[in-house]
Amino acid sequence: MNKNIFLSLITISLLTTLHAEEQLNPAQIMQETLAKMEALVADVLTPAKENNETKSETLAISENNSSCMAVLAEVNASVETNTSKAMESVVTVDSNESAFTLGKYGTFKFEQMNDNVYIMHGPVVSPNKENQGFMNNPAFIESENGLIVIDPGGNYNVGKKILSELEKVSTKPIIAVFNTHKHGDHWFANKAIVEKYPKVDIYAHPNMIKVSKEGEAEVWYGILNRTTGNLEGTKEFAFPTKELVDGQEVEVDGQKFVVGHPEVAHTNTDLLITHVNSKTLFLGDNLMKGRLGSFDESSSVFGNIELLEKIIKDTNYTLYVPGHGISGKKDETIEPFLNYLKVLATEGQKAYADDKESYEVKDEIMEFLPWMKDWDAFEKNMAAHLNKVMTEMGERELAEEDDEE
């Protein structure tokens, strides 16, 4: 039998097996393929032996048999050599068991969004048991020698899953972490990173580090533990270790970052993080899309409006990343939340001037916000945000009276 024909048959058998056994792992595919090739050789040689009528034909068959078996031996050796390599590839294949899946919310993984910037967009909902406390946008920047992570997530257990997904993209070590603000749903997963990389630098604004250590971390632990029941392992907290202030530049392994600190907007602990290399701006919760968070005593609706208007006017980055919701270009990402805040400010000031309470005008103002109706926690938090606007109006009035005196 011609050796080339035999090799062609071997190839056909191999390809057939690979396509027919897609549900098998690589080692099983190799074993099945080898078994089919052995059967193929037997089928090819046996008829020839049965029809052999002369010594010369017997000799030719014997030579063909030797040639075929030699080729089969070479293929067998190659299969055995490559089986271990194939098995190694199994660990890199996503499976239902290893994927980060959260029930009805689906499966989550890191996506390359801009040059060397990868983001995992969390479910755009409030913390609950089904999302396990994961609903922010963990991100990382890949440098030559490592990874720089921004806001790794809301608890230790989520952090472990975030790390697992990150390692599917790159096995480089984490060499720095940035936390955008004090709310635990963004930074409690520091614990999982520090467990694996105990010497990693974690950057945040001084206010964030101070208030977190003074009790804000405990407040958020209580909120997230009550709503998700998934905080086991999160304590002791992995607080940020390095301070960054407004306008400061940081270079990590060739990746340049510039941070901004709005005096008062979402909170007084926030950092805006610009990754200069990729022209990406991480806004933390100064910007949301698809869900509404909270404003506390350190927040300002008017300050948040001023900040976002300045960003629209003065920047032209490639990618804008909210604390919650899908990242994108400037206008499409910023304007929905900014316009929401501006409607609240305008209508809230009118209500305050008319000496009305927020609950009296809430339903009427909702009619001005049709694009917000599907946002998570809209009805609940919109009422609180409107009350915040009117509270700020009262504080301004008192401040003006004090100045006059």
pLDDT tens string 63-86: 444 544 454 455 445 444 444 443
The three-class DSSP label of residue 72 is helix
Cα 128 to Cα 24, 192, 223, 312: the distances in Å are 37, 20, 10, 33
Residue 202 lies inside a defined structural domain of this protein: yes
Examine the domain organization and report whether 273 and 238 are in the same domain: yes
* 381 within a domain of the structure (yes/no): no
Task: Spell out, as residue ranges, where the chain has pLDDT lower than 50.
Answer: 1-30, 33-34, 40-41, 44-65, 67-69, 71-72, 75-76, 78-96
In a domain, 325, yes or no: yes
Q: How do residues 260-283 score in pLDDT, each as one tens digit? A: 999 999 999 999 999 999 999 999
138/17 same-domain check: no
Which pLDDT value is given to residue 400? 82
Amino acid identity for residue 396 in this structure? R
Q: Is residue 338, in this structure, part of any structural domain at all?
A: no
Q: Is 81 in the same domain as 201?
A: no
Can you say whether the dihedral through the CA atoms of 25, 31, 34, 36 is positive or negative? negative
Report the pLDDT value the prediction gives residue 32, as an integer from 0 to 100. 52
Radius of gyration of the chain from its Cα atoms, rounded to whole angstroms: 31
CATH number where 123 lies: 3.60.15.10
Name 328's bridge partners. 320
Same domain, 74 and 198: no
Alpha carbon distance 88, 367 (integer Å):
58
Q: What is the CA angle 271-337-103, rounded to 5? A: 85
Q: Do both 174 and 297 map to the same domain? A: yes
User: Do both 305 and 223 map to the same domain?
Assistant: yes
Residues 47 and 141 in one domain: no
Last-in-domain residue among 330, 357, 379 = 330
User: HSE of 221 in the Cβ direction (CA atoms, 13 Å)?
Assistant: 16
**Cβ-count burial 195-210 (b if 16+ within 10 Å, e if not):** eebeebbbbbbebbbe
Among 57, 90, 123, where does a domain finish?
Answer: 90
Q: Within a domain: residue 260?
A: yes
Same domain, 247 and 324: yes
**pTM, entire model:** 0.77
Task: From residue 167, give the alpha-carbon distance in Å to each of 118, 134, 147, 247, 369.
Answer: 12, 18, 10, 32, 41
For residue 38, the model assigns a pLDDT of 53
Same domain, 186 and 69: no
In a domain, 279, yes or no: yes
User: Which single residue is written with the structure tokens 């208030």?
Assistant: 211
Give the whole-angstrom CA distance, residue 141 versus residue 248: 19
Which residues, 6 or more positions from 34, have their beta carbon under 8 angstroms from its beta carbon?
A: 75, 76, 79
Report helix angle 330-353 to 301-314, nearest 10. 140
Same domain, 171 and 282: yes
Query: What pLDDT is stored for residue 31 in this prediction?
Result: 52
Classify residue 9: in a domain, yes or no: yes
Q: Based on the domain organization, do 170 and 125 belong to the same domain? A: yes
Report the number of distinct structural domains present in the chain. 2
Number of Cβ atoms within 10 Å of the Cβ of 126: 19
Same domain, 297 and 326: yes
Helix residue spans in 266-374 (DSSP H): 301-314, 330-353, 358-366
**φ/ψ (deg, to 5) at 241:** -115, -15
Cβ contact 323:180 at 8 Å? yes
Which pLDDT belongs to residue 15?
42
Separation CA 296–CA 279 (nearest Å): 30
> Is residue 37 included in any domain, yes or no?
yes
- Domain range enclosing 76: 3-90
Exposure of 94 in the CB half-sphere (CA atoms within 13 A): 13
